[in-house]
């Protein structure tokens, strides 16, 4: 098994990136760092820095922010050309535990041995801010259910999609299903790919006893028992725009589309009220533009 790690960076933190590269270096055949940081905005992350730090990494500076999906696809293309049969995706601040990749690969092999068509396997996430474990998301009826997952569970937990960071995917599945949608730029990329691959009979699995720390959003607020992750206004734009686009995407089953329909008004209300910029009218108008752009298929980089 030849696994390539694809790390997408955008104004990365030097300490966190070095931590990630150290933690995965002995478990993969190749590491590709695909850097979305615009030219002239960063001077420490270079091929020379990687060499001095003893990281055997293929570094590819794109010179501009092309979005997470395009960066992932560039890394996937390098992995295929270099003969790797698996890729594992990482955000720049991911903190995988020791032997995580080997344990995910072992779990995938066991599932394949019993005839399961595995789309991807990934760790259970512990949010560093909320201290909560990420649930497995499954649809059923008119609802999309969030199933609690405990690190004490021993069996893989099936989900409709996984968080991209830490997900191990076979190259053969990517070639069958297709790669990530670059016109989404950011947000819903991993969800759309997971749901699309489900149309090909693929199943996705959280491996509960493999726990990885993850940080989502800029901050969060509590509304009753529910914690709501906050992002900046531009990130909220992409969330709403891509949700509106998926609402009209007939490749998704009607349960998911119905759920998205109910979510969009909530997104607009909550993101307008809780905007991190404190400019609520501007945030609301930007979200109205997001709805329009999504419904009319105006995708790609918006700013």
Which tens digits make up the pLDDT trace of 255-268?
888 889 989 999 99
Q: What mean pLDDT is predicted for residues 171-177?
A: 98
CATH of span 3-214? 3.90.550.10
Give the least confident one: 69-78, 151-160, 222-231.
Answer: 222-231
Query: Which pLDDT score, from 0 to 100, does residue 206 have?
Result: 98
Q: What mean pLDDT is predicted for residues 66-76?
A: 98
Q: What mean pLDDT is predicted for residues 219-243?
A: 80
Question: Which of 17, 57, 15, 8 lies closest to 36 in space, CA to CA?
Answer: 8
* pLDDT, tens digit (0-9, with 9 covering 90-100), for 24-53: 999 999 999 999 999 978 889 999 999 888
Compute, in degrees rounded to 10, the torsion defined by CA atoms 109, 113, 116, 121: -10
Domain boundaries along the sequence of the chain: 3-214, 219-295
* pLDDT, tens digit (0-9, with 9 covering 90-100), for 9-31: 999 999 999 999 999 999 999 99
CA 133 to chain CA mean position, Å? 16
Query: Which pLDDT score, from 0 to 100, does residue 252 have?
Result: 85
Residue 217 has pLDDT above 60, yes or no: no
Q: What mean pLDDT is predicted for residues 163-189?
A: 97
> What's phi and psi for 122, nearest 5 deg?
-155, 170
Q: What mean pLDDT is predicted for residues 88-113?
A: 96
Average pLDDT, the chain: 92
Q: Name the E strands within 45-142.
A: 58-61, 86-91, 118-127, 136-140
Q: What mean pLDDT is predicted for residues 122-146?
A: 85
């Amino acid at each position: 098994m030849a696994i390539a790690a694809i790390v997408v960076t955008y104004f990365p933190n030097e300490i966190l990136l070095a931590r990630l590269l150290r933690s995965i270096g002995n478990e993969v055949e190749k590491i590709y760092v695909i850097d979305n940081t615009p030219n002239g905005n960063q001077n420490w992350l270079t091929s020379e820095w990687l060499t001095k730090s003893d990281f055997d990494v293929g570094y590819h500076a794109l010179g501009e922010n092309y979005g997470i999906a395009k960066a992932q696809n560039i890394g996937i293309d390098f992995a295929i050309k270099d003969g790797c049969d698996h890729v594992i995706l990482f955000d720049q601040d991911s903190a995988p535990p020791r032997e995580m990749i080997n344990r995910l690969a072992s779990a995938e092999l066991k599932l394949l041995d019993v005839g399961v068509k595995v789309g991807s396997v990934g760790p259970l996430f512990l949010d560093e801010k909320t201290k909560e474990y990420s649930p497995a998301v499954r649809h059923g009826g008119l609802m999309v259910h969030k199933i609690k997952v405990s690190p004490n569970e021993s069996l893989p937990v099936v989900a409709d999609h996984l968080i991209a960071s830490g997900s191990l995917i076979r190259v053969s599945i990517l070639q069958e299903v297709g790669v990530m949608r670059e016109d989404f730029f950011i947000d819903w990329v991993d969800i759309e790919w997971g749901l699309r691959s489900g149309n090909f009979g693929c199943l996705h699995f959280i491996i509960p006893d493999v726990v990885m720390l993850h940080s989502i959003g800029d901050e969060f607020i509590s509304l009753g028992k529910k914690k709501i992750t906050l992002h900046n206004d531009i990130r909220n734009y992409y969330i709403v725009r891509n949700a509106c686009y998926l609402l009209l995407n007939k490749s998704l089953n009607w349960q998911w589309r119905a759920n998205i329909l109910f979510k969009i008004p909530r997104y607009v209300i909550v993101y307008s009220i809780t905007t991190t910029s404190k400019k609520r009218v501007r945030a609301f108008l930007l979200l109205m533009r997001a709805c329009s752009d999504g419904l009319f298929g105006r995708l790609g980089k918006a700013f």
